[in-house]
Amino acid sequence: MTSTSPIVEVSSLRKAYGGRAVVDDVSFTVDEGEIFGILGPNGAGKTTTVECVEGLRIPDGGRIRIAGLDPVADHAAVTQVLGAQLQESELQAKLTVREALELYAALYPNPADWRPLAERLGLTGKLNTRFGALSGGQKQRLFIALALIGNPRVVVLDELTTGLDPRARRDTWEIVEDVRAGGVTVLLVTHFMEEAQRLCDRIALIDTGRITALDTPQGLISRTAGSTIISFTPSAPLDDADLAALPALASIEDKDGRITLGGSDETVTALLSLLARHRITAHQLRVTDATLDDAFLDLTGATK
């Protein structure tokens, strides 16, 4: 990518309903080729934010640019740069997959060929099936196809995998990675930590209308206290004071002789030398990274 300016720019976005701020001073930029996640609990303002980006809602304040275009003032031009899958939307129940693809292709001046697109999304066997007869996963794949059919530079995917079974969810993740590999920037709205951790290059964490953190998934995890979890069963009792003195220790738990510590890499090293000094063996020693789940709870905990 030669372009250095971000393809999506949101600055100081505000939107209120009935005096209640739903989106409150949200700013972020998305670089071309990125998968950018907007993660947060239900009702945090994620969908309202992307609906402003899509030009479906008029912001109360702030500025949005998609490839330099205003989603409201330049709506027609923006529709050719930005494709989207909406959180709650359907098609006419009796429209077949083929008809939907042909129809939406006809709405764009330079559409993608829908046949390879259908192939890529595994819809080829379903072309003559009516929308109403598709499974949840198939409907979502069709909506991804429709989001891509105008050859956009950015796609917004809002709660793409909500309601899908784990298998269909994983298949959909592969499709999202594939979309990015095709050069399309992805703005992904989700409340699944696992999904954000797996797919996103960077994540904006939104809670009650505000961005509480914006970083890479790994960055978000490592900035939380206790990003490394160590658990073991010592062969002989350990002195509580020794444990409490470990560096970077965030949490300590002793359950029926099994000790679980939250800390960092430093904690692990110090613990190992402590054990060696006392000639204690750590049975079933497990060292794991905290997940985005832990980070999320930690980062949003302050506002609860």
Point out which residues bind other proteins (CB under 8 A).
54, 56, 76, 79-80, 82-84, 86, 88-92, 94-95, 99, 102-104, 106-113, 146, 150-151, 182
**Closest CB 109 distance from other proteins, rounded Å:** 7
Smallest gap from Cβ 122 to other proteins, in A, equals 18
Nearer to other proteins, 127 or 250 (CB): 127
In whole angstroms, give the CA distance from residue 59 to residue 55.
Answer: 9
Burial of 148 (C-beta count, 10 Å sphere; 0-12/13-18/19+): buried
| All residues at 6 or more sequence positions from 71 whose CB lies less than 8 Å from its CB, including other chains | 52, 53, 54, 55, 64, 78, 82
CA atoms within 13 A on the CB side of 175: 28
Q: How many CB atoms lie within 10 A of CB 240?
A: 11
Q: Can you tell me which residue has the tokens 């250095």? A: 4
**Least distance from other proteins to the Cβ atom of residue 238, Å:** 59
- Minimum distance between the CB of residue 76 and other proteins, rounded to whole angstroms? 6
Compare residues 88 and 256 and give the one whose CB is closer to other proteins: 88
15 phi and psi angles, rounded to 5 deg:
-150, 130
Tokens 């509480």, residue?
A: 212
User: Quick one: 47 or 228, whose CB is closer to other proteins?
Assistant: 47
- Cβ distance to other proteins smaller for residue 84 or 271: 84
Q: Which is nearer to other proteins, 25 or 99 (CB)?
A: 99
Least distance in angstroms from the C-beta of 161 to other proteins: 18
Contact in structure between 236 and 249 (CB atoms under 8 Å): no
Distance in Å, CB of 188 to other proteins, minimum: 17
Strand partners, 11: 63
Q: Which is nearer to other proteins, 17 or 223 (CB)?
A: 17
